[in-house]
Structures are given as structure tokens and as C-alpha cells.
Copies of this chain bind each other. A is one copy, B any other.
């Protein structure tokens, strides 16, 4: 039970990734970790010759690989084929990762499956590895078949362009309506975790949150590390990191048909060393850095949501359990009424209360506290007077925090979304008229 007279800010924790002990690498990305080269080129999937549309990532040696895939029943052909290449268990060994933008290869039937398989073969031939060691991903228009001739000419071009500085080009090549590329990399020392002298790096790229015509299939992320991690352990770490990052992002509640996240581990930072063991300090440090990479990319994705003017961080505490914390935060983050209010710089706590009230989470309304941008606006289920002037000042911040304490338990979560603007309607409704 919250006290109506206690109107100190909730100050819920969480939001920005915890970077303790990590070193951010300037302009870091998917080639920051040792053992990987990448390229981004214009192959011809898009008409604009200035626009990169094919990304290739190649590991010097076969790397451990883990992935997470969209849950959408209408999953795209490359998702099906990549999952098969990982023996259906979403982890294994891989040499290469190829992504085209412009065409999603979703809703393309058996022809689409053959195209995705052939793409892997083309890459395998050029790189010199089995097709089963190639991960494929596509993003772009749904319901259109891939132009395979573009792969036949584009993959060798990308292979020739591979470099240890190619991460930035690769990150540009996977963009659709993203307004800027999304990359980051962090390193951590092996000294205190049983790998003296070694420095491990995790870096990644992501694209997301854009749809243009008729339906851009959205989130794709590729992450590399030079830490020694076996595929099964890598998969467990990735699942945990994705659950707390990409899966906590919602731009418009629409899950794409093509969502996928791939993590490749070369082990090149400590050749011949024992892989990180479950329960070890090394794996804990790795998880911490992986969480930072995924969290950074996920927040960048939410902030660059279609038409977004503000990143919104929704923190829910005091839920009865994790599932209820999630559904409460998700309902707030998906509410068009909340998102348009933020766009209009309106500290509209009534809509936030309405959203958690209908979310399905169990609580009593007289136990609820809400803060917006650190301003207490509801205590014990009743409105708290606040300065509208101060609220308008805080709305100038690029990041808007919504904190809710349900007063029903100890579970908590964080989600990221963006506001809902005219530009969203323009991007998604207006382009044909």
C-alpha cells in the first residue's frame, strides 16, 4: 500500500544499460571483435545506386553461432532456412551472415525458401564453406520474390570489399526506413575472470522500426564477439539478453515476419583458451557486456521508431509477478493514447492509469503510484498536483520516463517505446495518396 501523502519521486531503476566495467569502443560495431570482417555494398536490390543494400559478415574461421527468431506464424523464408542451418535448435557453427534490404522474402512460399537456400549456396561458394554455415536474413517489401541475379553479382562484390573496418558499411546496408545506422561495441578485461591478459569484445549492428511499402519486415541484428563461447552457452546468453532488450521494445505493437538476431563468437581474443563455462565469472562478465550491446541497440531502435520525436522508457515496479509487470508495461508502451499524449507534451497520467487498469495485471487502484519524468502525478490512486510549467520543461528532454508502482508485489520490468506523431501516420498511411 502506497501512502498518498508520500509524494517523493519513485526513482525506479533501469532504463539505460549498465556499463559498469565495460569500455565503449568509439565507432564500434560488428567488426570490433577479433576474427570478423564485414562489408556493405550496393548490389541492386534498391534502385538508388547510392544506397547500400547487401551486407556480408564473414568469420575468419567457423564461429559459434546462436540466434533468436520471430514468433510470427508468417515467418519469412530466410528465418526458416537459417533455423534449419542451425539444426533447428537455434545454435551451431557458422562462417558467414548475409543480409539484403529492399525485399523481405516473406509470404513467398516454396519459391522463397529455394531463394533463401540458393543465397546461402552462393555465399558458401564464394566464402569457401558449406551452405549450412551461412546465416541469411532479408528485410524489405513482403510478398515479392528475391532477385537471385542480384545475389550472383552482389555477393562476390561484397566479398571483395570485406574488411576489418567494414562494420559501419554493413550497418548502413541493412537499413530500411531507419534514419541512421545502429551500431555499438564494448570490451571487458579477462584479468579478473580467469583469462589474464585477454581483452574480450562484443559488438553489433541492428536495424528496426521501419515499414515503408507495402510492409517492411523490420528488426534484424547481427552481433559478434571474440570471446570463447560454445554454441549452446552462446544461445542461452543471447536468449537472456534479447529478452531484456529487443523483446522489451515496441514501436507500434506489430511483430515483424522477419525479426532475427544472430550472435557469432570467434574466440579469437584468447586462441586455444577454455570456453567460458556456465556459472563462471567469465560468463557473467560476458553476459553483462552482451546485455549492454543488446540494450544499447534496442534503445536506439525505439528512439528511431517511425516518426518518433522522443524515446519513452516505461518502468513498472510492484507487480505481483514478472508476467504481470511485463503486461502492465507493454500495455502502457503500446497505448496510442499514451503515445499521442507524449507527442503533445501532455503529462496525462489518466491514460497511464487507464492502460494499467485494463492490462490484466492484478492490483488495487488505491495502491498505485505514477511518476512522469520524475514528477509524482499519482499517489494511492489519486492525482497529485504538479507544476505544468515544470512538466513542459521536462518534455524538452529527448528521453521521457514513465514510472509506475502497482503496490502489489516485488516484480519489475523496463520497456522502451517512442511517441506517436503525425509523421507516423504519414509514413504508414500517406505514401500512396
Contact = CB atoms under 8 A, between A and B. Distances in A.
A143 B383 contact: yes
B74 A214 contact: no
A425 B254 contact: no
A348 B350 CA distance: 34
A402 to B, nearest CB: 15
Given A74-B365, A75-B357, A215-B337, A425 B431 contact: no
Given A107-B353, A109-B381, A343 B71 contact: no
Interface stretch (A58-66, A313-321, A416-424): A416-424
A54 interface: no
Contact of A425 (B106, B215, B340): B340
Nearest to A366: B109
A189 interface: no
A365 B430 contact: no
A211 interface: yes
Interface band, chain A: 35 or more
Interface string A202-216: 000000000101110
A246 interface: no
A204 to B, nearest CB: 24
A336 B328 CA distance: 19
Contacts of A421: 425, 429
A108 interface: yes
A354 B429 contact: no
Given A107-B365, A254-B336, A340-B429, A349 B73 contact: no
A364 B75 CA distance: 10
A215 B107 contact: no
A280 to B, nearest CB: 37
A349 to B, nearest CB: 7
A255 interface: yes
Contacts of A198: none
Interface string A284-316: 000000000000000000000000000000000
B143 A429 contact: no
A433 B419 CA distance: 15
Interface of chain A: mostly helix, strand, loop or mixed: loop
A143 B349 contact: yes
B215 A358 contact: no
A177 to B, nearest CB: 12
Contacts of A361: 73
B214 A349 contact: yes
A108 B378 CA distance: 11
A345 interface: yes
A72 B257 contact: no
Contact of A73 (B213, B343, B356): B356
B107 A383 contact: yes
A428 B421 CA distance: 10
B109 A428 contact: no
A337 B420 contact: no
Contacts of A74: 353-354, 356-357, 365, 368, 381
A350 to B, nearest CB: 3
A142 B215 CA distance: 38
B344 A428 contact: yes
A176 interface: no
Interface of A: 71-75, 106-109, 141-143, 211, 213-215, 217, 252-257, 334-337, 340-346, 348-351, 353-358, 361-366, 368, 378, 380-383, 419-422, 424-425, 428-433
Given A107-B350, A141-B350, 15 more contacts: A74-B356, A106-B350, A107-B353, A109-B381, A143-B349, A214-B348, A214-B350, A215-B348, A254-B358, A257-B354, A344-B431, A345-B433, A346-B432, A419-B429, A424-B425
22 contacts: A73-B356, A74-B353, A74-B357, A74-B368, A75-B365, A107-B353, A142-B354, A143-B382, A143-B383, A214-B348, A214-B351, A254-B354, A255-B354, A336-B424, A337-B428, A342-B429, A343-B430, A344-B428, A344-B431, A346-B431, A422-B425, A424-B425
